[in-house]
C-alpha cells in the first residue's frame, strides 16, 4: 500500500495512539466489511483474521458499529473531503482554463484515488444506504462542503459563458451522476473488463459537456 493517496496508511500515520493490535483489527475489518458486508461480518471473524482474541476488539471498540465508524469517519472527515475540495480550489484559482479541463482533471484524479482506496470506497458505497449515522457523516463532511464549492465552480463558468443558464444544482446532479456512474461500474461492478480509461474519460466528458455547455455559434 504505497502512495500519498493511500488513506489507510494516512490514517495510521496520523493516529499515534493506535496500537499494533488496533491496526491489525482495522485492516482485518476493512477486508471483511468490503468482501462480505458489515451485516454479514462477525467480530469473531475479524478477530481471527487479525490474530487477536475477540475480547481485544471490545476493549478498543464497544460495538461492531463503533469499529465501522472508526474506519469511515476519518476517511470522510480528514481525507476525502479535502481532496475533492482541493480540486475545486484549482478551478477557482484559474488553474483550469475551462470547465471541460476541470472535469477531465477531476475524473483522472478520482480514478487514481480509488485505485489506491478501493476497499474503503466499497465499504462506503455498500453501507451508506443502510446506516443513517454514516449518511449523516457523509452529508456533514462531504455533501454540504462539496456542493457549496461545486456550486461556486459552476457559477464561475456560467459567468464566463461556458455553461448553460440552468440551476447549478441541476448541473451538479447531471455531472456527478455521469462521473460516479462511470467510477462505480469501472471499479466495483465490472473491474475485470479491459477498460481504456482515457477513451472512457474522453467520452464521459464529451457527453457531460454536450448536455450542459453553451452551444458554439456556427
pLDDT tens-digit series, residues 40-50: 999 999 999 99
The Cα 157–Cα 205 span in angstroms is 16
- pLDDT confidence bin for 90, thresholds 50/70/90: low
* Pairwise pLDDT comparison (72 vs 9), residue with the higher score: 72
Q: How many CB atoms lie within 10 A of CB 6?
A: 17
**Closest C-alpha among 142, 1, 148, 2 to residue 78:** 142
Q: What is the DSSP string of 138-183?
A: HIIIIIHHHHHHHHHHHHHHHHTT-B-SS-HHHHHHHHHHHHHHHH
Q: What's the pLDDT at 84?
A: 64
- pLDDT confidence bin for 55, thresholds 50/70/90: very high
The Cα 145–Cα 140 span in angstroms is 8
Based on DSSP, count helices (H) and strands (E) in the chain, helices before strands: 12, 0
The Cα 40–Cα 193 span in angstroms is 28
The Cα 178–Cα 156 span in angstroms is 21
Q: What percent of the chain has pLDDT over 90?
A: 37
The Cα 32–Cα 45 span in angstroms is 8
The Cα 184–Cα 186 span in angstroms is 5
- Answer whether residue 202 shows pLDDT above 60: yes
Q: 98 is written with which cell numbers?
A: 475551462
pLDDT tens-digit series, residues 110-158: 777 777 788 888 888 888 888 888 888 888 777 777 788 888 889 989 9
- Answer whether residue 192 shows pLDDT above 70: yes
Query: What is the rounded average pLDDT of the residues 185-203?
Result: 89
Query: What is the rounded average pLDDT of the residues 35-62?
Result: 93
* Pairwise pLDDT comparison (215 vs 84), residue with the higher score: 215
The conformation of residue 130, written as its DSSP 8-state character, comes to G
* Pairwise pLDDT comparison (78 vs 155), residue with the higher score: 155
Q: What's the pLDDT at 69?
A: 87
**Lowest mean pLDDT: which of 27-36, 52-61, 77-86, 118-127?**
77-86
Q: What's the pLDDT at 145?
A: 76
Query: What is the rounded average pLDDT of the residues 185-211?
Result: 90
Q: What's the pLDDT at 25?
A: 93
Average pLDDT, the chain: 83
Q: What's the pLDDT at 2?
A: 40
> What are the C-alpha distances in Å from 208 to residues 33, 89, 100?
34, 21, 9
Amino acid at each position: 500500500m504505497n502512495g500519498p493517496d493511500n488513506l489507510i496508511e494516512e490514517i495510521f500515520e496520523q493516529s499515534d495512539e493506535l496500537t499494533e493490535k488496533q491496526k491489525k483489527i482495522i485492516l482485518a475489518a476493512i477486508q471483511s466489511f468490503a468482501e462480505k458486508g458489515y451485516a454479514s461480518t462477525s467480530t469473531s471473524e475479524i478477530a481471527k483474521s487479525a490474530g487477536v482474541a475477540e475480547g481485544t476488539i471490545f476493549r478498543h471498540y464497544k460495538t461492531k458499529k463503533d469499529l465501522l465508524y472508526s474506519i469511515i469517519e476519518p476517511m470522510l472527515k480528514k481525507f476525502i473531503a479535502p481532496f475533492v475540495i482541493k480540486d475545486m480550489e484549482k478551478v477557482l484559482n484559474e488553474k483550469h482554463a475551462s470547465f471541460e479541463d476541470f472535469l477531465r482533471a477531476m475524473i483522472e484524479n478520482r480514478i487514481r484515488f480509488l485505485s489506491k482506496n478501493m476497499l474503503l470506497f466499497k465499504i462506503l458505497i455498500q453501507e451508506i444506504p443502510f446506516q443513517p449515522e454514516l449518511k449523516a457523516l457523509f452529508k456533514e463532511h462531504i455533501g454540504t462542503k462539496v456542493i457549496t464549492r461545486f456550486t461556486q465552480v459552476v457559477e464561475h463558468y456560467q459567468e464566463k459563458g461556458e455553461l448553460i443558464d440552468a440551476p447549478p444544482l441541476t448541473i451538479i446532479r447531471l455531472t456527478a451522476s455521469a462521473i460516479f456512474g462511470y467510477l462505480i461500474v469501472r471499479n466495483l461492478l465490472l473491474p475485470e473488463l479491459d477498460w481504456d480509461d482515457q477513451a472512457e474519460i474522453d467520452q464521459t466528458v464529451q457527453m457531460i459537456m454536450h448536455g450542459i455547455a453553451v452551444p458554439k455559434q456556427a
